[in-house]
């Protein structure tokens, strides 16, 4: 959807920070901000049926996307969806067993299964996602920008090969070390699919896109470059950032990737997501101003008191320093048992202390 069909953006802090332009105060959004810690989310989720039913229902996905914006002064919305929509569209049979996390009915265990995989057409097989993007853009009415997202090829591959969440990655790492050609074929197909998928989200209205590499940090530095970063690099190169009358920034986030920030910045992405194991000031020194930085409060700080939350927000803003290009966020998704009032304390503290910094 060309940008001209939408109402003008009222709050562009997030997009300005991604472009390393001056802002009136530091923008903030929260990974998994539309989620189980919010009672209104739990209510909609119950109406929807399963988690997957909610993902596949554009109206309800829009509803939960907007819920945190009604409560908090967040500077961006993020599409409510799941990274595993892609393997589902590739025919693996996604399901969520209550309390057990995601699973696939038909995990990939050999080269033949990987060779048989097709590349889904995002407007066909993932049309419900694009419908959700269009619906959310319409309902946002220019309040804040909308972020689209996808999982990284490596992260998607871990679920597709293991068939479920994993701590040891026996199958996929067995493949990485024992049948690297098979894994590369899978990652190539996934890089193509993710590129098409993110381009379709941008065409539908996403104003920034983020690649979640949740499991890149479980790799050696060598394997990370070869099996995760190389494919994110292809995605960055393949995203049509200039389209629909706007420039769409790309954010890369490897959880546990603090040792590899320089290499991530070299992909040409616009911003890096940081987990909390790296000091954001140190990260700034290491990568310079060629990328914006998003992060990086430990989500567990939200278990502590409002005073402790405010102190940690102030510490992170101070460590980032006076330069432009900071989007405040947690270093990982918000946990489900967090008190929503603590999120308000966080968001308001970012805007209060971020202003003093600007």
β 101-104/94-97 pair status: antiparallel
Binding flag, residue 22, its own copies (CB under 8 A): no
**Distance separating alpha carbons of residues 261 and 258, to the nearest angstrom:** 6
| Choice from 300, 339, 355, 356 touching its own copies (CB under 8 A) | 300
Return the range that interacts with its own copies (CB under 8 A); candidates 143-151, 155-163, 164-172, 322-330.
164-172
| Choice from 258, 273, 325, 354 touching its own copies (CB under 8 A) | 258
Of the residues 13, 32, 234, 284, only one is catalytic, namely 32
**Distance separating alpha carbons of residues 309 and 312, to the nearest angstrom:** 5
Nearer to its own copies by Cβ, of 96 and 303: the residue is 303
Is 36 considered catalytic here?
yes
Neighbours of 105 (CB within 10 A): 10
- Give min distance, CB of 107 to its own copies, in A: 15
| Choice from 4, 22, 98, 168 touching its own copies (CB under 8 A) | 168
Of the residues 41, 159, 224, 231, only one is catalytic, namely 159
> What are the beta bridge partners of residue 33?
none
Of the residues 82, 131, 270, 275, only one is catalytic, namely 82
Strands in the chain per DSSP E = 77-78, 94-97, 101-104, 146-151, 208-213, 242-243, 246-247, 250-254, 271-273, 292-297, 326-330
- Type and span of the H or E element at 318: helix 306-320
Of the residues 16, 20, 45, 137, only one is catalytic, namely 45
**Distance separating alpha carbons of residues 260 and 266, to the nearest angstrom:** 10
- Give min distance, CB of 156 to its own copies, in A: 18
**Under the rule (CB under 8 A), what is the footprint of its own copies?**
168-171, 173-174, 176-178, 217-223, 256, 258-259, 276-279, 282, 298-301, 303-305, 308-309, 312, 315, 335, 337
């Amino acid at each position: 959807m060309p940008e001209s069909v939408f109402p003008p953006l009222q709050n562009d802090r997030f997009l300005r920070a991604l472009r390393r332009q001056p802002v009136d105060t530091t923008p903030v959004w929260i990974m998994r901000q539309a989620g189980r810690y919010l009672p209104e989310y739990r209510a909609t989720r119950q109406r929807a049926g399963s988690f997957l039913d909610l993902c596949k229902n554009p109206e309800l996905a829009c509803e939960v996307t907007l819920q945190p914006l009604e409560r908090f002064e967040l500077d961006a919305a993020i599409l409510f969806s799941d990274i595993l929509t892609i393997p589902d569209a590739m025919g693996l049979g996604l399901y969520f067993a209550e309390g057990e996390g995601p699973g696939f009915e038909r995990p990939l265990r050999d080269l033949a299964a990987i060779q048989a995989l097709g590349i889904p057409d995002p407007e066909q097989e993932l049309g419900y996602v694009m419908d959700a993007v269009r619906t959310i853009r319409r309902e946002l009415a220019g309040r804040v920008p909308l972020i689209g997202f996808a999982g990284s090829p490596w992260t998607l591959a871990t679920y597709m090969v293991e068939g479920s969440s994993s701590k040891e990655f026996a199958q996929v790492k067995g493949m990485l070390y024992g049948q690297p050609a098979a894994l590369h074929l899978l990652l190539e197909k996934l890089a193509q699919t993710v590129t098409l998928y993110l381009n379709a989200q941008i065409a539908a209205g996403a104003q920034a896109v983020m690649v979640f590499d949740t499991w890149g940090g479980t790799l050696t530095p060598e394997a990370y470059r070869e099996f995760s970063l190389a494919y994110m690099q292809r995605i960055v190169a393949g995203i049509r950032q200039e389209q629909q009358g706007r420039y769409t920034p790309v954010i890369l986030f490897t959880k546990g990737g603090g040792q590899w920030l320089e290499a991530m910045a070299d992909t040409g992405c616009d911003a890096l997501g940081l987990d909390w194991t790296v000091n954001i000031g140190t990260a700034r020194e290491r990568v310079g101003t060629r990328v914006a930085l998003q992060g990086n409060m430990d989500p567990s700080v939200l278990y502590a008191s409002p005073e402790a939350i405010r102190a940690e927000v102030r510490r992170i803003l101070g460590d980032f320093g006076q330069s432009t290009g900071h989007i405040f966020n947690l270093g990982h998704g918000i946990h489900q048992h967090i008190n929503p009032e603590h999120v308000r304390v966080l968001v308001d503290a970012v805007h209060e202390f971020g202003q003093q910094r600007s």
